[in-house]
Amino acid sequence: MTGATWRRRDDGATELRVNGVFVMDDRETSSERELARQVVDLGAAEILVGGLGLGYTLRELLAADTVGRVVVAELQPEIAGWMRDGTLPGADLLADARTELVLDDVRTVVADQPPASLDAIVLDVDNGPDFLVHEANSGVYESTFVRTCAERLRPDGHLCVWSMDDSPALLDALAAAFEDVATRSIPVRLQDRDERYWILTGSRPTGSAIVRA
């Protein structure tokens, strides 16, 4: 398995790749920031984020005074190292007292959380179930792990997933664990072409029980 690499493109953008596949750049970050704003708007104060990336989701979360704790699961330790040594921006994010960085697979990090301890879980660990960087990440989008996420959320919690596509299989997995499932498309501009990314959300009304498949 190839780790993370970064490069400065000819257009001046910083680009992050994992396993040789483009993951993100710092030119188009609107969907990552919108993912965080959606979680904040839903009232989440204690949040687990799968995927550090270039830090835009985390930065947007920490900009909200209502956010008290963010656990960040990152599989690639070199990304955190680049932030800490100043190679990439983000040392301030990792130094924030509200940030708890765990260098491990998000599935392990989520499973290690106490039941009903989080307001929201945000998954941005890959390009979505249909455009995987790592084939092993397919399990992140399947019903077993989605159910584990639901069990770690408080009764009115939310699971928000970033995806390159509006995946029917992922929507089915969310519907098996949550009463309310929603999709939202985010228009983006990628190197002179128009695209859409997606935020898929599973939620439970306040006081509801976990729906088990």
Q: Is 212 exposed, middle or buried (0-12, 13-18, 19+ CB in 10 A)?
A: exposed
Task: Inform me whether the pLDDT recorded for 90 exceeds 90.
Answer: yes
- Report if residue 75 sits inside a domain: yes
- Report if residue 14 sits inside a domain: no
- Report if residue 8 sits inside a domain: no
pLDDT of residue 2: 62
User: Rounded to two decimals, what is the model's pTM?
Assistant: 0.89
- Report if residue 18 sits inside a domain: no
pLDDT of residue 46: 98
Tell me how many domains the chain contains.
1
- Which range among 13-22, 85-94, 175-184, 200-209 shows the weakest confidence by mean pLDDT? 200-209
- Report if residue 101 sits inside a domain: yes
Q: What is the pLDDT of residues 10-40, one digit of tens each?
A: 887 888 888 777 778 888 888 999 999 999 9
Domain holding 101: CATH number? 3.40.50.150
Q: What is the pLDDT of residues 170-197, one digit of tens each?
A: 999 999 999 999 999 999 887 677 889 9
Task: Inform me whether the pLDDT recorded for 65 exceeds 60.
Answer: yes
Task: Inform me whether the pLDDT recorded for 99 exceeds 80.
Answer: yes
- Report if residue 3 sits inside a domain: no
The domain in which residue 166 lies consists of 28-204
